[in-house]
């Protein structure tokens, strides 16, 4: 009789190879069915595919349901103040250009209290991936109107329906100087979500990705029709854009050709949102100026030379 030793059947993982579970910290405590779960999985897959060393990877978040993201990654993380994810991440990247930096922000965090930081982070264009978890509601504080809530949304702050037109984060980002990467995806199309995050990671500057995210607790009626209606989404397809396999692309009824090097067309396509939800790469410019390349590290200035320069400047104030 042959006896099998189960331990002997396990595939040996060579030292230095990071597995998916090596990026997993505590169990995510978002609500059941929340779109944030699929985004977390897609990001872990990216880390695994790229073999990002956990000790060289940093997730910086602000406040909101999305803000809990760094707690669930076994990497470095910073769960900071409301709206301040961009400046903290910019500081990390500027001081430590060797780190892989991710910004996790929500529609309230980015487009309301943090809007000033969002504008300037796009302009500074430091190499990092910014993921906007956009559920169009303040979920953590139990259903208040957010800057991206559609007009007429009934919330605790607008019990008879919100009255202002929402911000379109794609359109707004495309209007900023030195913008270099703008993409949109949805949490419920895993192949597209994964391909978008991979493309964003490969971009040499700040990759801004709006992820339309389901909040089944407070915005059930908002995204449910989009999730169920096969006509609700239009995919932007191009050889320079986010590539899906033929099989995945065939799952969408509406596909349009869009060259992501054309910013004028990108702004037009961003307007489509009134009729359908466009997903894909709107714009990419790999040549945009990167502020992190002007840091002392990247200019090759040694630590003693930096200290000498600081001493020289401070001497001006000697009494
Ligand atoms: Fe997700 Fe909404 Fe629950 Fe927040 S409130 S965790 S966004 S489902």
Residue closest by Cα to atom 1 of ligand 1: 34
What integer pLDDT is reported at residue 131 of this predicted model?
98
Say how many CA atoms lie within 13 Å of 74 toward its Cβ.
Answer: 12
Using DSSP bridges, classify how beta strands 181-186 and 277-284 pair: parallel, antiparallel or unpaired.
antiparallel
pLDDT, residue 4, reads 52
**What is the model's pLDDT at position 185?**
98
Q: Choose one of 27, 29, 30, 104 to mutate for the ligand 1 pocket test, by most ligand atoms within 8 angstroms of C-beta.
A: 30
Answer whether 40 contacts ligand 1 (Cβ < 6 A): no
- Is the alpha carbon torsion for 187, 189, 193, 194 positive or negative? positive
Written as one string, the DSSP assignment of 222-233 is: HHHHHHH-TTSE
- Note whether 145 and 162 are within 8 A (CB): yes
pLDDT block averages, 10 residues each, the chain of length 319? 55 77 95 97 98 97 98 97 97 94 98 97 98 97 96 96 97 98 97 98 98 95 86 95 96 96 97 86 98 80 85 87
Q: Is 268 left (phi over 0), alpha (psi -120 to 50) or beta?
A: alpha
Indicate the pTM of the whole model. Answer: 0.91
Q: How far apart are CA 233 and CA 237, in angstroms?
A: 13
For a ligand 1 pocket test, name from 36, 109, 146, 221 the mutation site with the most ligand atoms within 8 angstroms of its C-beta.
36
CA torsion angle 142 110 184 266 (round to 10): 140
Residue nearest to atom 2 of ligand 1 (CA): 215
- Cα–Cα distance measured from residue 96 to residue 60, given in angstroms and rounded to the nearest whole number: 14
Residue nearest to atom 3 of ligand 1 (CA): 31
pLDDT at 310: 87
């Amino acid at each position: 009789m042959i006896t099998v030793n189960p331990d002997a059947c396990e595939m040996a993982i060579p030292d230095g190879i990071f597995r998916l579970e090596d990026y997993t910290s505590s169990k995510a405590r978002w609500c059941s069915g929340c779109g944030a779960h699929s985004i977390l999985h897609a990001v872990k897959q990216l880390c695994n595919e790229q073999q990002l060393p956990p000790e060289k990877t940093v997730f910086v978040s602000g406040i909101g349901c999305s803000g809990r993201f760094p707690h669930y990654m076994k990497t470095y993380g910073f769960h900071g103040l409301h709206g301040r994810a961009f400046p903290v991440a910019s500081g990390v990247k500027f001081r430590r250009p060797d780190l892989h930096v991710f910004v996790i922000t929500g529609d309230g965090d980015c487009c309301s209290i943090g809007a000033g930081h969002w504008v300037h982070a796009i302009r500074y264009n430091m190499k990092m991936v910014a993921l906007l978890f956009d559920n169009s509601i303040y979920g953590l504080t139990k259903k208040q109107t957010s800057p991206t809530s559609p007009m007429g949304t009934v919330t605790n702050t607008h019990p008879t329906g919100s009255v202002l037109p929402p911000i379109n984060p794609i359109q707004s980002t495309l209007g900023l100087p030195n913008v270099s990467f703008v993409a949109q995806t949805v949490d419920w199309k895993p192949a597209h979500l994964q391909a978008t995050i991979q493309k964003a990671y490969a971009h040499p500057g700040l990759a801004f990705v709006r992820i339309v995210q389901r909040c089944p607790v407070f915005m059930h009626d908002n995204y449910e029709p989009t999730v169920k209606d096969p006509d609700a989404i239009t995919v932007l397809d191009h050889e320079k854009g986010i590539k899906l396999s033929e099989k995945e692309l065939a799952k969408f009824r509406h596909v349009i050709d869009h060259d992501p090097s054309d910013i004028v067309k990108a702004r037009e396509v961003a307007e489509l949102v009134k009729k359908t939800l466009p997903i894909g790469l709107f714009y990419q410019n790999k040549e945009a100026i990167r502020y992190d390349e002007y840091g002392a590290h990247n200019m090759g200035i040694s630590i003693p030379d930096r200290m000498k320069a600081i001493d020289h400047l401070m001497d001006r104030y000697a009494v």
